[in-house]
Amino acid sequence: MRQLGMLVGVVAVALLAGCGPVDEQLSDEAAQTPEEMVLEQGLVDGCQVETYNQCVAAGYGSCLDWSTKAACGSTTCDPEYDLSPCYRRDCTEGPCQNIALGATFQSLQQYRVCFNPQGQSCTEWLVLEDYQRVKCGC
């Protein structure tokens, strides 16, 4: 009987986790679990290969919400980047011209954890932008 009660509890948690948080729970989710901190550090250290929807396709149908967007991997510099606002207007000689300031770029990803009916987990990664402008200048 005790095992049946535990099984019902585990199934209820798995089903509720797949539904995502209700509005009242959103403010309580600022604290990260150790597992979430490890995943976030993994994003910072290096970008993961995109595995969007692979967990769901493999039977892990109960998924938590996507993590916050996080920059990942190393930054790159494009010294020739001169699109707004990464240029300086120079009108000292002749016609005015835009002088490139360059820009620093970094990839952006999210992850989510999905569960199968047995309670096993699978993590999906989503590449939002291969390179997002982080700042003007290098």
| Per-residue CA distances from 124 to 10, 28, 29, 135 (Å) | 22, 23, 20, 28
Whether the upstream peptide bond of residue 117 has omega within 30° of 0, thus cis, is: no
Q: Number of structural domains, the chain? A: 1
Provide the 3-class DSSP secondary structure of residue 130.
strand
Report pLDDT digits (tens) over 103-126. Answer: 999 989 999 999 999 999 999 999
Give me the domain span that covers residue 94. 2-136
End-to-end CA distance of the chain: 64
Report pLDDT digits (tens) over 7-43. Answer: 334 333 333 333 333 333 333 445 666 655 555 555 5
Neighbours of 98 (CB within 10 A): 13
Q: What is the pTM of this model?
A: 0.52
